Structure 1
Amino acid sequence: MEEFMGAEFEDSLFEERRERPRPGPAPTYTAKACEPQWFCEKITSKDDVEILTVKKFRGDLAYRKQEFQKALQEYSNCLELLPATNFSMGRDIWESQARCLAHLGRPREALSIAEKLRQEATNSDHLTTVLYLQLAIYQSLGALEKSILALQQLVSLHPFNPWNWKKLAEVYLRLGPAKSSPSSPPLNGFPSADPTFRAPLTSSGRDAPSRSLESQNRPDRPRTRFSPGVESGKAAASCHGQEMEEGLTGFPGLLAGGNQLDSTVKIRVPEGSTEIRVNACSSFVRSRLLFQLIESQQTSFALEKNLKAQEEIEEQVKAFGFEEETLLLISEVMGEDIIPEKVKDEGHAEVKCVGSAALDALVIASVKEFEDRWFRKIEEHIRTFENRGH
């Protein structure tokens, strides 16, 4: 009798099953322990990845110690070993180099790297990092108008970050006296670039002349990556909040003439400049509204910093001397889009991965565009109110 196709038995069905070995005790795991600053020892490994890691750590340590020339050299050595396909670490090292160059009095080269990073940015996280880098360089130069544009672009990208709004208000207030100061540095008056420098850096820049900023004797924090986090509830309003706020201190904000500004000193409100007064006050009010939104979700030092910032803002708002009606209008206009559900949705939004042209569309193109969007309605109201003789 013929067998049907597919009905035959496999020989493996009649084989004896092999007994599986019983699992024994798991091997003991011993975590590798590294001594403090282990990467400062002589390199004995021939593994390029390990050598690259060691040099990167050495550069970061030198930066923290404010040995910026040494850090710059270590970062340059890293680039010589870095595979061309490792874009993530490449961006990290280029940013570190730019911050070193700014501290060494070579802002033109630092801005060149920042512009290169901006052109190669492919998502909103990259753009956020570049904007903070540019802001740090502009602030180190006392270039207040360009600092304002960088902050406005950050606000456009992250409109619910209270620290950005607070910083924007503070820079507006510095803009008034700086405009009338004869010692204000021109925005394009950067020191000449080192002709041996190329971006990304190589070791050819090691002997370039530099003007150290270490004499400012201000402890500096290592550079920080700003990655949009996914948060829940009202806490989403402070997307990048704490780390971004700290990242702004990577370089001290400078007044005209290079004097360092203590952020705890109360800033005088410029007289007679309605536009600057409105812009600064409105930014402070917006910041306070956002701080209040996330206050219930914070504890410990985060809540302490929040409440302290609100106290500072309260003092500043009172100093403007605006009528109660005007302050109510400012609060209404600056808070009309602050809806908890909307803020929550933004906190859960993914990083936008798009091309350079599409990224540029996410931020404002000019100061006028930003101020028309946020402040024009308030300015018109105040002018009308003042014309009535109040």
Structure 2
Amino acid sequence: MEGAFCFEDSVFSETRDRRAERGPPYTAKRCEPRWFTEDENNDDFTDVPTTLKFRADLAYRQEEFEKALNEYNDCYLLIPPANNAMRRDVQESQARCLIRLGRYKEALEIADILRKGAGNTDHLTGTLNLQVTIHSHLGNLQESVSWLQQLISLHPFNPCFWISLAESYMSLFLATNVCRDISECSNTIHLCSDCLNGSVRTIDIVKNRDHKTIQGHCNEHFECPPSMKDCTHREQLWMWSCASFIRARLLLQFIQPQHASFVLENNLNTQDHIEKQLNRFGLVEGSKLLLAEVMGEDLLAERVTEEGHIDTKTTQTLSSFIMPTDPEFRVKWFHKINSILLAHG
């Protein structure tokens, strides 16, 4: 076996003292508060786009939206083409300034550019969120619902998106009290002046003695569907809203054991809010259990993380992802409920 293991003599030599090679101790650079508000021509400013973005972010937080937009515009012109992440971030910020300034058409143009340039699910999530915000400000409820359904298709375990969808469905349901036949409306429903940003404030309801009336949003009344045998689109909206609220509550219950302190408090408060909404909608306990069983069929505790997402990589390429259409989304989530309710009358 001689010669099988050969070592250099240096292996057995003493460890070299490296202390003499050490340089001066590292001292982190400290920035003064709001350092970015100083003159960017100063020698200390090596990254002008970042400086301008910080200024714009501060102006936006202070609700100086025109000033923020100008800063974002200047910043965008200086961002290197290769820095795609920062360019998208600033573009979305530009769009949100335009929303606050009431310039919705320009905001939609930016949102469309971002959507076409989305390269992964994170990009698409931000774009869809932006679309929801724009159409909510415009009062375009059906458009908001459509974008929310796409968001949920990307993130089916996110309770916040399900709550937003439930509230949007209910706003559409209440809006049809003004437009009795939803098929007579245009594809995009604009609420009356009594409805602000999709939040129903005051709506006159024509009471029908064959229908049960119960308390709803803002102490108003709306009609609870008496039966699903004559299930109109308006009554489907009511059922979809209830089902979405229950789905959100199930997700909150799954992640509740992982929460503590104020996060747990927020979780429980949200569950309580959902329960109050369901009671106002006149949903009986048996129906709640039925909806919970159907809307929770795909839930496994070990698959739901603290953020309400599946425990896999969060960012995925879009090449393998196919976005369902609105009808496909509703078939996936609500067709079974429709069938059960029709069977039970």
Could you tell me which of 75, 80, 83 is aligned with 1:78? 75
Return the structure number with greater relative CO, CA threshold 8 A, min gap 6: 1
Partner of 1:27: 24
1:364 pairs with one of 305, 324, 327 = 324
Aligned to 1:90: 87
Q: 1:137 to 1:267 in 2, by over 3 A?
A: farther
Distance 1:21 1:174, change over 3 A: closer
Gapped runs of 5+ residues in structure 2?
Answer: 1-9, 180-184, 202-216, 226-233
In structure 1, what is the Cα distance between the partners aligned to 2:31 and 2:186? 49
What's the RMSD between the two structures over aligned residues? Answer: 3.2
1:258 and 1:315, CA in 2 relative to 1: closer, same or farther beyond 3 A?
Answer: closer
TM, length-normalised to structure 2: 0.78
Partner Cα separation in structure 2 for residue 129 and residue 315 of structure 1: 30
Aligned to 1:346, what secondary structure does the other structure show?
coil
For the Cα contact (< 8 Å) 2:173–2:238, is it kept in 1?
no
Q: 2: distance between equivalents of 1:24 and 1:255?
A: 75
1:182-331 equivalent positions in 2, closer than 5 A = 256-257=193-194, 259=196, 261=199, 270-272=223-225, 273-331=234-292
Whole-Å separation in 2 of the counterparts to 1:255 and 1:299: 42
Local SS of the residue matching 1:375: helix
1:121 has 2:146 as partner: no
Aligned equivalent of 2:337: 378
Contact 1:142 1:255 (C-alpha < 8 Å) held by counterparts: no
Report the Cα distance in structure 2 between the residues aligned to 1:62 and 1:255, rounded to whole angstroms: 33
> What are the Cα deviations for residues 219-251 of structure 1, in whole angstroms up to 9, with x where unaligned?
xxxxxxxxxxxxxxxxxxxxxxxxxxxxxxxxx
For residues 296 and 259 of structure 1, the distance between their equivalents in structure 2, rounded to whole angstroms, comes to 37
* Count of paired positions: 302
- TM-score under structure 1 normalisation? 0.69
| 8 A contact 2:68–2:97 mirrored in 1 | yes
Distance 1:304 1:267, change over 3 A: farther
Q: 1:298-351: per-residue Cα shift (whole Å, max 9, x none)?
A: 011111110000101111122233344332221111000001233369223251
- Asked if structure 1 preserves the Cα contact closer than 8 Å seen for 2:111 and 2:130, the reply is yes
Paired residues of 2:224 and 2:282 also in contact (CA < 8 A): no
Give the structure 1 partner of residue 63 of structure 2: 66
Report deviation, 1:354. 3.4
| Farther-moved stretch of structure 1 (58-67 vs 340-349) | 340-349
For the residues of structure 2 that align with 1:325 and 1:156, how far apart are their CA atoms? 28
Q: Distance in 2 between matches of 1:189 and 1:271?
A: 21
Separation in structure 2 between the aligned mates of residue 102 and residue 155 of structure 1, nearest angstrom: 23
Structure 1 residues 321 and 347: CA distance shift in structure 2, 3 A: same
- Secondary structure of the residue aligned to 1:312 is helix
Q: Could you tell me which runs of 5 or more consecutive residues in structure 1 were left unpaired when the two chains were aligned.
A: 1-12, 191-253
Matched, 1:332 2:269: no
Answer whether contact 1:173 1:269 (CA < 8 A) is retained.
Answer: no
Are the structure 2 counterparts of residues 348 and 189 from structure 1 closer, same or farther at C-alpha, using a change threshold of 3 Å?
closer
Tell me which residue corresponds to 1:154.
151
> Helix, strand or coil: the match of 1:23?
helix
Is 1:173–1:268's contact at 8 Å kept on the other side of the alignment?
A: no
Kindly indicate whether the alpha-carbon contact (under 8 Å) linking 1:101 and 1:109 is maintained by their aligned counterparts in 2: yes
Counterpart Cα distance in 2 of 1:188 and 1:144: 7
Structure 1 counterpart SS, 2:304: helix
